[in-house]
């Protein structure tokens, strides 16, 4: 059974940093791309960042480019999102997602999410 368990959310001040992680199980982690998707309070879903199975390819939404860094530790089945220079509008529930391996990529499994609150 595929499981994705996020951790590391919490309260941070504007301009500070926070790191969220996602521990994966139930599938061959290194064989799949992974993404972070977020939902701000009262808003819709927003794709944040993606990383290829081997970690060599990384992609970012314009809203986080230059501030967030996605990485993965395939030895420990862990996906990481390092968030620097946080802004109030980064406040959201952050979901870890597993991507399908097909040509038509989709997010076939999602974690329960971790809440990140940016406030002074």
Partner 1 sequence: DIQMSQSPSSLSASVGDRVTITCRASQSIDRYLNWYQHKPGKAPKLLIYAASSLHSGVPSRFSGRGSGTDFTLTLSSVQAEDFATYYCQQSYSFPWTFGQGTQVEIK
- Contact residues for partner 1, defined by CB under 8 A: 35, 37, 44-47, 50, 59-62, 95, 100, 102, 104-108, 110-113
- We find the least distance from the C-beta atom of residue 33 to partner 1, in angstroms, to be 11
- We find the least distance from the C-beta atom of residue 75 to partner 1, in angstroms, to be 26
Going by C-alpha positions, the residue among 6, 41, 30, 7 that lies closest to residue 118 is 41
DSSP 56-110: --EEE-TTTTTTEEEEEETTTTEEEEEE-S--GGG-EEEEEEEEPSSSS--EEEE
Beta carbon nearer to partner 1, 42 or 120: 42
Beta carbon nearer to partner 1, 80 or 96: 96
């Amino acid at each position: 059974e595929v499981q994705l368990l996020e951790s590391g959310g919490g309260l941070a001040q504007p301009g500070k940093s926070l790191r969220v992680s996602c521990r994966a199980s139930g599938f061959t982690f290194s064989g799949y791309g992974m993404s972070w998707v977020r939902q701000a309070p009262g808003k819709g879903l927003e794709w944040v960042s993606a990383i290829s199975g081997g970690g060599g390819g990384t992609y970012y939404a314009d809203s986080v480019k230059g501030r967030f860094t996605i990485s993965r530790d395939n030895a420990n089945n862990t996906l990481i999102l390092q968030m620097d220079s946080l802004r109030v509008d980064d406040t959201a529930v952050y979901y870890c997602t597993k991507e399908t391996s097909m040509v038509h990529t989709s997010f076939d499994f999602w974690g329960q999410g971790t809440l990140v609150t940016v406030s002074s």
